[in-house]
Structure 1
Amino acid sequence: MSYFLSDRYETQDVLYETSHTRVVLVRALDTGDLHVIKGIRKDPTTPEHFFLEASLLQDLSHPGIPILLETEEDESYFYIVEEYIYGDSLDQYLLYHQNISQDTFLQFAMQLCEIIRYLHTHDPYPILHLDLKPDHIIVCGNQLKLIDFGNAKILTSSGNDFQNFGTKKYAAPEQKHGGAVDQRTDIYGLGKIFSYMLLFLPMQKRLRFLGLVTRMLRYDKGRRIADISRVQDHLQRVWQKNKKEKKNKKHLLNRIAVVGSESGVGATHVAVALVCYLNRAGFYAYYRNETEAPTLERMLQYNMACIGQDGMIYHEFFRGYLDDGPALAKGEPPYGIQVIDCGCRTDVTAGATIYVCSGRVWQRQEKVLAENMILVGNHFSRQEAGQYARVQKKRMYLFPWQKNPFHTTLAVQRLFSKMIERELLCEKKKQADA
């Protein structure tokens, strides 16, 4: 590391290294924040785009674009110090999840449009990214980050003919064939990303976006959508229509408690799995921990999740609310369905309580359950479950075995679907439906 930088940063890890380039993860000595230092060796073959990326990022300020902290050099290297972006690439995220909800698609698509709009309306000249692809988009909590501006160009008033930039699979025809590029070139690349994301949506949901994507991907640039704001308008209309459809759906109770008959019966597992299922199904739900166990803090400690500015932590379809986060400072909890992990304590304010009990003899509790309690059994045989349900005069849901609560199996999804339909609808809505 440069002498000028070693007095301010401590090396944590070497992320990437070649004969010409070195990328290092560092920690700032004054703040403790993590940053990335990109170093490139000084010689006649030093790529021009390295310097262009540095000069571009210096002028950009957007939550979806990495922050350039400083540039430096010594006798052997040029250095760029950037914000460290934690998360998975969009490609990794999609392949890992295999399917996403329409809400997730819209949130991702609208964030990407906003980043591209910022670049295309940059003053005094528009900036073209020219290498849009899923690998260059990082899912960082609830914020997408667009990275790698090595191929970006400033579009001056005189116009430019840039050739052979971008990745072949996502590059627009004019990039491949040496034509002039403009904002429509980025719109083509964004359309390719959208078409890839649509593969992970249910078939019936894809139809709403196929017309838009087709217009973004027209081979003839003159017939392609020319302004990113038109893409944003289309997505906003679908978003509003989606909100109206949700209003007509049956509403879930907004506070659901999960209580264990005693410690160790799996109440936290059930609570986490329910949050993941609800978010995956298109409902906004979040987990609140009212036990003494530091569940969410441990997730952060072991890098299982990342924290957003809203005081929530994010991991795949899971969302958890930190009671000491910014959301609490605002004086009100976030909007959405609260799934409260109560441990062994009851919550009288909950609209419904999921009571988790164990079929193991040493963990059984003979207790009369309240009317609003939903009985969930862990480690019960069907015969034992039937006997216990008759004693309690309640329906019992047998929770299927699953190794990871964040990855809801089909059996768990079917269980929660039945539970929602039978038990977790708002009473007001039930009466309206009767």
Structure 2
Amino acid sequence: MERVLFGKYRLCRELGNGRSGTVYLAYHVELEEYRAVKVVPKSLADYDTFRKEALFLKTLRHPGIPIVYDVEEDTGYSYLIEEYLEGESLYALVKRLGSLSVKAAADLGIQICRIIQFMNSAENPILYLDLQPKNLLVCNGVLRLTDFDHAQYASDAAAFGERYGTIGFAAPEQYTGEPLDCRTDVYAIGALLYFMSRGDAPGSVPEYRNEPEYRMFDRIIRGCMEKEKEARYQSADELQETLQELQNQLKEQAAESRIVVFAGAAAGIGTTHAALGMSHFLTRNGCPALYQEAYDTSAVRTLAKNMGIKTDRTGVYRIGCGSIRPYYGEAVKLPYLYFPVIIKDVGVIRPEEKLPEADFYVLVCGGKWWEIDRTVNAAKILKSRGNVILLFNHMEKKARLKLPKVLSDIHYFFLPFFSNPFREDKAANTCYRDLWNDGTGETRWKRKKLSQRLRRSDAE
């Protein structure tokens, strides 16, 4: 027989039951909408906890918190009628996928922070005190917080005798009887971030990773889960700001730069000159490029000293329209800068040195009889890494060049003489345009368009 509560809520099926009662899916016969109905016996020892939960939910209005439509009662039971949420628990989602990416975990972490900060900063602040993956629902990418059984007004939390929490997610002070505050919830957010990115709850001694893609994220987790409250993020709001900074960095990095590596077959062949010229050519033609020393050649610092220029706050020298960053070493952490193209100058190529990954490699080399052996050896090294182009320097374009068979499938160009890599040069522009188009497979600057622009420049 069909059961209808209070003349309007038709019970459809049981959604779940636990220590504090049973939850049913109900259909509002007049509004034709589904509701979740929590049924709690008045004889229950935790009945006062239920009434407190109902009071919390009635006063809280936030997109991440279910809406309470009504509270009803009869002689034996109380009923909490609230918004029916369709989704998957965070626990089920992570167990199904194994773990979440840093980006996805940070996005959900930001949503959790917003909900908790809303509660912690209410007129009468509320502590949730049981953040764990089974109490969070993911509904079409939006996180919703459920089950407010253990929530407390901050003013009452210190005096509250019985304390609850979930092992692995509860803060140390929930076990020791120390005062609870908003930093107790911050600890649990950190444990959730750990769970999302690892697939398991943190143990008594959480393990942190040192790989670059995880380093900052794990540093944030550590800042949440410090044993001493004073060492943690001091609020969910502060934590949210840090997660947002991480998200911004991830978005910048998602717009990947093209990497072009310039290497020299020998010392003094003109690698730095050629790389600086390429960087400035691209920037002048609407494709901002960063010249970057990949190893310590001291060339950029010597250049800056003799030109009397200093770096800006990002560690970059600005010369004309160009941006030049010297080598600072592995230990120095500089602000992330996005450029569509990064020209990396590795100096003289050496077999023992690890080369950076690149979209294509440019080998600045010589073609004279006494230079060709070094050119061949260097080209073999680069060819094993990817697409390589030879850029012959100190040679005329009309020079007869007979390359060994091993290099017969490698494209090559001749770099014309131009004394200043920071100034525009018509012949150099043509060389760099053809080099770029060959390396990328693009036709970004067609011959006619570039020659027209050069004529305008000459006229000016």
TM-score w.r.t. the length of structure 1 is: 0.54
Q: Which residue is 2:248 aligned to?
A: 240
Q: Which residue is 2:419 aligned to?
A: none
Question: Given residue 84 of structure 2, which amino acid in structure 1 is its aligned partner?
Answer: Y
Distance 1:246 1:48, change over 3 A: same
Give the CA RMSD over aligned residues.
3.0
SS at match of 1:131: coil
Question: Given residue 216 of structure 2, which amino acid in structure 1 is its aligned partner?
Answer: R
* Equivalent pairs, count: 256
Q: Which residue is 2:134 aligned to?
A: 135
Q: Which residue is 1:29 aligned to?
A: 29
Question: Given residue 256 of structure 2, which amino acid in structure 1 is its aligned partner?
Answer: N
* Equivalent-residue separation in structure 1 for 2:20 and 2:246 (angstroms): 47
* Equivalent-residue separation in structure 2 for 1:96 and 1:131 (angstroms): 23
* Equivalent-residue separation in structure 2 for 1:100 and 1:131 (angstroms): 22
Question: Given residue 97 of structure 2, which amino acid in structure 1 is its aligned partner?
Answer: H
Cα deviation code 1:200-245 (max 9, x no counterpart): 5996532121111111111112222211222111111111112222
Matched-pair contact (CA < 8 Å) for 1:168–1:176: no
Q: 1:6 Cα shift? A: 3.9
Q: Which residue is 1:146 aligned to?
A: 145
Matched-pair contact (CA < 8 Å) for 1:163–1:178: no
Cα deviation code 1:281-331 (max 9, x no counterpart): xxxxxxxxxxxxxxxxxxxxxxxxxxxxxxxxxxxxxxxxxxxxxxxxxxx
* Equivalent-residue separation in structure 1 for 2:7 and 2:157 (angstroms): 45
Cα deviation code 1:120-144 (max 9, x no counterpart): 1111x21100000011111111210
* Equivalent-residue separation in structure 1 for 2:12 and 2:70 (angstroms): 19
Q: 1:55 Cα shift? A: 0.4
Matched-pair contact (CA < 8 Å) for 1:21–1:41: yes
Q: Which residue is 2:67 aligned to?
A: 67
Please tell me whether residue 51 in structure 1 is matched to residue 59 in structure 2: no
* Segment of structure 1 superposing worse, 56-65 or 234-243: 234-243
SS at match of 1:132: coil
**5+ long unaligned stretches in structure 2:** 201-208, 259-439, 447-460
Matched-pair contact (CA < 8 Å) for 2:187–2:225: yes
Matched-pair contact (CA < 8 Å) for 1:40–1:46: no
Query: Which structure 1 residue ranges, 4+ long, deviate > 6 Å from structure 2?
Result: 1-4
Q: 1:2 Cα shift? A: 12
Q: Which residue is 2:181 aligned to?
A: 182
Question: Given residue 196 of structure 1, which amino acid in structure 2 is its aligned partner?
Answer: F
Matched-pair contact (CA < 8 Å) for 1:163–1:176: no
Distance 1:223 1:2, change over 3 A: farther
Please tell me whether residue 217 in structure 1 is matched to residue 225 in structure 2: yes
Q: Which residue is 1:173 aligned to?
A: 172
Question: Given residue 50 of structure 2, which amino acid in structure 1 is its aligned partner?
Answer: F
Question: Given residue 74 of structure 1, which amino acid in structure 2 is its aligned partner?
Answer: D
1:414-425 to 2 correspondences below 5 Å: none
Distance 1:46 1:159, change over 3 A: closer
Identity over aligned pairs, percent: 28
Distance 1:208 1:162, change over 3 A: farther
* Equivalent-residue separation in structure 1 for 2:102 and 2:444 (angstroms): 27
Cα deviation code 1:86-139 (max 9, x no counterpart): 11111110111124333312211111111111111111x211000000111111
Distance 1:60 1:432, change over 3 A: farther
TM-score w.r.t. the length of structure 2 is: 0.51
Greater relative contact order (Cα < 8 A, sep 6+):
1
1:337-352 to 2 correspondences below 5 Å: none
Q: Which residue is 1:198 aligned to?
A: 197
1:275-294 to 2 correspondences below 5 Å: none
SS at match of 2:5: helix
Please tell me whether residue 208 in structure 1 is matched to residue 207 in structure 2: no
Q: 1:50 Cα shift? A: 0.6
* Equivalent-residue separation in structure 1 for 2:69 and 2:29 (angstroms): 14
Question: Which has more radius of gyration?
Answer: 2
**5+ long unaligned stretches in structure 1:** 251-427
Distance 1:99 1:174, change over 3 A: closer
